[in-house]
């Protein structure tokens, strides 16, 4: 299937590693040009070297709205506009204290909101405008990541649906992808495997397919939803969880 992404301009946050990096790589493989950001300057520099001439990385703190607005504007100028935006950031915050909640809100929720808001003027000029938010199965179920991570991820699903209704008349599609357990060595599950192997084994055993997802498996779902190939799909929340969740979506 031709996803009709050749020459399209894409913005991705959290793009230097893990799911974000896989999203960038998948867009590039489809012929798109991608501007991405991440907090770690060294990681961004490595990614710039490895991803090639059609990817442009910037070290950025997504909790700084002014910096985010500036980056989005500069990226739109460099790419000649914007067609697709994928906010993919998380503090991976766990704990009930207020500082942990603030970190989750500032990064996961407001980092997404500021990126989306800054990109809307450019997206309105595109003939294939699309936004894909990254939530989690923890936004649907009460699991070990419920507070505050799951609560904020649930808010993102609601935010995506709200945006889809608000901007449909402008031709801007908005969808959400909710991954299940996604394993990569320097990610949260790699850390759990090293530090608490019994917990890792228990969680691994809850996956009906017998394994956790690879980042590229989530990325392919994101890129499809973002692409013109999904031109009549908006307002959906796509689970990419290998059957981990048991609830029925109506």
Active-site annotation holder among 149, 159, 161, 164: 149
- pLDDT score of 142: 86
Q: Which domain holds residue 104?
A: 9-182+215-239
Q: Are 113 and 100 in contact (CB under 8 A)?
A: no
Averages of pLDDT over each 10 residues, the chain, 250 residues: 97 97 98 97 97 97 97 98 96 87 96 98 98 96 88 97 98 98 94 95 96 98 98 98 91
DSSP string of 6-39? TT-EEEEES-SSHHHHHHHHHHHHTT-EEEEEES
Domain count, the chain: 1
Residue 247 lies in a domain: no
159 included as an active-site residue? no
- Does residue 202 form part of some domain? no
Would you call 83 helix, strand, or coil by DSSP? coil
56 in a structural domain: yes
Q: How far apart are CA 35 and CA 76, in angstroms?
A: 9
The tokens describing 197, both together, are 């192997």
CATH number, domain of 40, equals 3.40.50.720
Three-point CA angle 154, 159, 163, nearest 5°: 155
Cα–Cα distance between 22 and 16 in angstroms, integer? 9
Query: What 3-state DSSP class applies to 124?
Result: coil
The alpha carbon dihedral of 199, 201, 204, 208 has a sign of negative
Query: Residue 205: its pLDDT value, please?
Result: 96
- Residue 16 has a pLDDT of 96
Report whether the peptide linkage leading into residue 156 is cis, meaning its omega lies within 30 degrees of zero: no
The angle, 0 to 180 degrees and rounded to 10, between the axes of the packed helices 215-226 and 18-29 is: 50
The verdict on whether 135 is a catalytic residue reads yes
Active-site choice (9, 16, 130, 136): 136
Catalytic residue among 9, 90, 153, 178: 153
The active-site residue, picked from 13, 16, 130, 135, is 135
**Helical spans, DSSP H, in the chain:** 18-29, 41-51, 65-79, 98-104, 110-123, 149-167, 188-195, 197-205, 215-226
In the residue annotation, 161 being an active-site residue is answered as no
pTM of the entire predicted model: 0.96
Residue 92: the pLDDT is 83
- The answer to whether residue 194 sits within a structural domain is no
Residue 73 lies inside a defined structural domain of this protein: yes
The pLDDT value recorded for residue 133 is 98
Any domain includes 249: no
Q: Which has the closest alpha carbon to 155: 174, 171, 168, 136? A: 136
Q: Is residue 18 part of a domain?
A: yes
**2, part of any domain:** no
């Amino acid at each position: 299937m031709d996803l009709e992404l050749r020459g399209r301009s894409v913005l991705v946050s959290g793009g230097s590693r893990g799911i974000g990096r896989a999203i960038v790589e998948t867009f590039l493989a489809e012929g798109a040009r991608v501007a991405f950001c991440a907090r770690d300057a060294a990681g961004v520099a490595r990614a710039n070297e490895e991803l090639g001439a059609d990817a442009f990385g910037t070290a950025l703190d997504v909790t700084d709205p002014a910096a985010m607005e500036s980056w989005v504007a500069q990226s739109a100028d460099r790419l000649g506009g914007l067609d697709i935006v994928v906010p993919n950031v998380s503090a991976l915050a766990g704990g009930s204290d207020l500082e942990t909640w603030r970190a989750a809100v500032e990064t996961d929720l407001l980092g997404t909101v500021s990126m989306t808001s800054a990109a809307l003027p450019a997206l309105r000029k595109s003939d294939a405008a699309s936004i894909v938010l990254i939530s989690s199965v923890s936004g649907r179920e009460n699991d070990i990541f419920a507070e505050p991570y799951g609560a904020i991820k649930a808010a993102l699903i609601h935010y995506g649906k709200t945006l889809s209704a608000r901007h449909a008349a402008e031709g801007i599609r908005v969808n959400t992808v909710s991954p299940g357990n996604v394993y990569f060595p320097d990610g949260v599950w790699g850390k759990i495997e090293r530090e608490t192997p019994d917990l890792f084994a228990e969680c691994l055993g809850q996956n009906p397919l017998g394994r956790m997802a690879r980042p590229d498996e989530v990325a392919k779902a994101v890129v499809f939803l973002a692409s013109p190939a999904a031109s009549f799909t908006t307002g959906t929340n796509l689970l990419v969880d290998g059957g981990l969740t048991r609830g029925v979506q109506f």
